[in-house]
Structure formats: structure tokens, C-alpha cells
Amino acid sequence: MSSSKIQQWFPWTEAPVIVNAPMAGAVSPELAAEVSKAGGLGMCLLGCIADVSENSPQVTKLDADLTKIRQLLGGGDDDSADSTTTTTPSGRLRVGAGFLTCHPSIGSFAATALPVIRRHRPAAVWLFAPHEHIRPQGEIVRLLKGLGKDDEEGVTAPKVFVQVGNVAAAREALEDGADAVVCQGTDAGGHQYRRGMGVVPLLAETRRLVDEGGCYGGDEGVCVLAAGGIADGKSVAAMLTLEADAVVMGTRFTVAKESIVPDFRKQIILEASDGALSTLKSPFNDQIAGSALWGSLYDGRAVVGPIHEKFLAGASLDECWRELHEDHSPEEATRLINTWAGAAIGMVRKEQPAGEIVREVREEARQAIRKVAARV
């Protein structure tokens, strides 16, 4: 499947299509809007939402952020605005919204989150991280696809993206009815499958799975996206040769001017190099932060600091915990952990507007493809 398929779904995009990753604590309405304005797919707004319980502040904020996105894209205050700069020809808002499906509240999705999606009509919805004992994504995909039937004539359902880290998860996503499978390699920053694989074999195997399983996606087919360790145009070009329909970048966007990542964390990312040594993929990142959200299937990649070095030198989690909280002030402790970034961190060298990142990377990719084509 060529990249033209994803451009048919999202006709404002330009090839190669660049998507900003769904990063909680990083993505602002302004960032998502600027990515879409630059011909990319602005995704996930305030980041992936986990808590969808009744009266959840995260759902309330998503509602507010989608309203703001409409204004930023030129649609004004009216939810029914149909400006061509705001919506697709099918009536969908030119951004996506993301949800984590590992939170215990996910059973409330139909009652709390679905009405927000129905009201604002994002062009895509991104799902990630079903809990090992809760497998809600098949039902959520069904609910989302039902929106195309419930809405007025001409307004289609949002495209459903499912993020995966291994081929078994990709197969499950396809069987659940995903429109797009996001192949997240283990070089990615932030959270990912513990039993994951590099983006090259994951993308290749998933593409074969999609191509051989012609029933997936019906007449429209399924798009396959590459994510993890991609931070410049050359890496985008490499993913295109593996038949990725679009490419997702995360760490590069954490230092965008519109990113809400604190300045001190941006500086840590900008000063780092050699992602093999300066980042660590491990459950330790959640354990030292006291996060119980992710369960046993996932871990995360974050920037290494003194506490991580102590752990890598053989200290126990308890010893690291005591040092973090007894030897450092709360403010200092906050700065030592939770700077999430991928193994391509050394390729991220400057803070830029999000739209400029999209345009620069797209042009770099085009130049890289021309250069290689001239050599073969």
C-alpha cells in the first residue's frame, strides 16, 4: 500500500506523512495544530488519556483542548464550523486524539469518552496499552466505527490507530478491526512493550501480515506506521523503503516550542548523546516513580541520571528509592527522573516550532530518497 492511502484518509497531509506521537505531558493543542497545518497529522492533543471515569478531569480537558484546536485551525468557536482549514471533506477535525486502555476506568469509555469524540469528530483515534487482564480494544474499535453510522450523512467514522510492539499484538489489532497499526520499535522513548522488537523487523513482519491477510481493513485496507528511534529525514526515508505509510516521531517533538515539556527537561534532551548510554529502557523508570498504571506488559525508556547509574551499578530499587527521597529535595528528585526520550536522542539538537520540524524532516526525507535513487 502506498503512502497515498493515508493521504486519502487525511487529505491535508503531504508525503511523507509525519505524525507526532501521543505523549502525555508533552503534546499541547498548539503543537497538534501546528503539525497538521504543516501537512502532518497532529495527534493526541494533551497526550494519551488514561482516566475515562465519570467526571474525569482528563476527559474534561480533552473536550476543552479539542475546542481550542478547532479555533487554532481556523474554525472559530462553533463546534459545527466546517471551515476547510479545520475539517476534512468528510467532516472530521484535522487532528487525532489518543487513549491508553490499561486504566481500570476503561470500561467507562462509551459513557464518557465516546460522546466527546462524537461531538468534536477528530479524524483519528489512537489506542495503546491494553492491560494484560483487560482486553477492551476490540469493543472500543467497534464503538468508534459505529460513529460513522450514527453521524449525519457524509461524516465518516474516525480512523482507528492501534500502537503495537510485537507481531502478536499487531495481529490482535488487525483482528480487532484497526484501520492503522503503529509499529513502535524498542528504540522509542516513553512507554512500550517489554517484549518488543526493533522497528525494522516489526514493520517488515507487520507489513507482510497485512499484505497476506487481504481481509483486514475491508476495501480500504490497513495502513502501517513506523515509530521508535526516528528523529530526522534520513530515518524517515529508511522507513519508507520498508513500506511504512507514515512515520511517527516523539522525542524530536518533545523539544518543539509548543511542547509543554518543562524547559529543564528539554535542555537535558538537547544536551544528551549516544542514546544507548544516555537512556534506559526498563521497568525501573516506573518503579522509581511509583507508577502503577502500566502493568506487567510494558516498560519505558527515559534519560539516565545519577539514580539510574546507581541502579545499573547494582543497587536495589529500595536503595535507589531511599537515596532519591532522603538525599534530595522534592524538586531535585523530580528533576532526576521521568525525562522520557528515545534512543535517537543524540539526533535531537535544537528547539524548533513543531511545523518547522515537520517541513524540515519531510524535505530531508525527500532529499535522502533522491540521493539513494541516484545510486541504484
The 10s digit of each residue's pLDDT in 99-152 is 999 999 999 999 999 999 999 999 999 999 998 887 889 999 999 999 977 555
Residues 224 and 299 in one domain: no
- Contacts of range 320-325, beta carbons closer than 8 Å, 24 or more positions apart: 320/284, 320/288, 321/288, 324/288
- From residue 358, alpha-carbon distances to 170, 234, 344, 353 in Å are 27, 13, 17, 9
For residues 174 and 198, state if they share a domain: yes
Say whether both 331 and 360 belong to one domain.
no
Domain extent, residue 97, equals 7-72+91-261+351-374
Whether 312 and 220 share a structural domain: no
Query: Based on the domain organization, do 126 and 158 belong to the same domain?
Result: yes
Radius of gyration (C-alpha) of the chain in whole angstroms: 20
One domain for residues 248 and 110:
yes
Q: Which three cell numbers stand for residue 186?
A: 524498542
Which range has the top average pLDDT, 20-24, 46-50, 158-162? Answer: 158-162
- Tell me the per-residue pLDDT of 317-372, one tens digit each, with 9 for 90 and over: 999 999 999 999 999 999 999 999 999 999 999 999 999 999 999 999 999 999 99
Residues 146 and 206 in one domain: yes
Q: Are residues 150 and 282 in the same domain?
A: no
Co-location of 331 and 357 in the same domain:
no
Note if 120 is an active site residue: no
Does the pLDDT of residue 176 top 50, yes or no?
yes
What pTM did the predictor assign? 0.93
81 within a domain of the structure (yes/no): no
- Exactly one of 103, 120, 131, 191 is catalytic; which is it? 191
Q: How many domains does the chain have?
A: 2
